[in-house]
Structure 1
Amino acid sequence: MNVIASRPINLIVIHCTASRCDRVLSPSDLDSLHRRRGFDGCGYHYYITRDGHTHAMRPLHRIGAHARGHNARSIGIAYEGGLLSDGTPADTRTRAQRSALRSLISRLLVLYPRSTVCGHRDLSPDLNGNGIIEPQEWLKQCPCFDASAEYATLRP
């Protein structure tokens, strides 16, 4: 795991790479994609490939480039996938990815116990002002599952 962040952290944001589950997106490919978008390296702090390997991509002391308006106080984690082979958004996490993601989030919550875990889609604007970000308000489907609910029980 990266060295502990020297900045305040209150949010752990889960993403998918929106890549097809039948294609490989290596950590170096992900880094290159982000550099082509004008980022100074990969915008996520961690990347979990389909084999369940957790790759440290950006040091925790560096602000991420993954959730506009929320980067300064967050940690970004992406998993490889998020699209079926036909391009349809779906939860394509492998068993190994699910396990690695759960383990990483558990460790981060020990380091940052006041943090909230959410999916990127949960940071969409509440367009109708009812206090709930509903599926029709999501700017993206990412991460294609309810991260807040799935990791609610991981508090230390």
Structure 2
Amino acid sequence: MRPVNKIIIHCSATPEGRDYTVAQIRDWHVKGNGWKDIGYHFVIYRDGTVHAGRDINQIGAHTTGQNTGSIGICYVGGLAADGKTPKDTRTDAQKKALRALVDRLCQQYGINRRQVYGHNEFAAKACPCFDVKKEFRV
């Protein structure tokens, strides 16, 4: 097992109300970026189901300079229906699933809640389009 000390939360930057799969995101990352796999370790669908992405024992490709020692979680959504405007589009099911997944991973890896971040804390992006610090590090 690789050492893990933080969790970084992302959105898929896709329009609200539309479903996307791990396979589609993997395709974007492999074909569009030339990566060997999907960048995230977990993807949360709009119905709240949690799906495995990149193997948890492999370093992710989700946050420049922060991939070693981190777990990347992505929820499907993050843009308004126009496909351009950042927006917290998480469904209630996604919020509940994200909370449960973060809790489980923090316990499993001994991660302090202060080590749960949004992608926007490491890059000039809106992603994940909600205040991770307010929701998870309080």
Say yes or no: TM over 0.5.
yes
Per the alignment, residue 117 of structure 2 pairs with: 118
Q: Is residue 2:66 matched to residue 1:70? A: yes
Written as runs of structure 1 = structure 2, the 5 A alignment for 1:1-156 is 6-36=1-31, 37-86=33-82, 87-115=84-112, 116-124=115-123, 139-152=124-137
Structure 1 position 119, deviation (Å):
0.1
Give unmatched runs, 5+ long, in structure 2.
none
- The 2-side partners of 1:27 and 1:109 are apart by 23
- Structure 1-normalised TM-score? 0.82
- The 1-side partners of 2:22 and 2:57 are apart by 20
Give 3-state SS (helix, strand or coil) of 1:72's partner. coil
- The 2-side partners of 1:27 and 1:7 are apart by 23
Identity of aligned residues (%): 46
Structure with more relative contact order (C-alpha pairs < 8 Å, separation 6 or more): 2
Is the Cα–Cα contact under 8 Å of residues 105 and 111 in structure 2 kept in the other structure?
no
- Structure 2-normalised TM-score? 0.93
Give unmatched runs, 5+ long, in structure 1.
1-5, 125-138
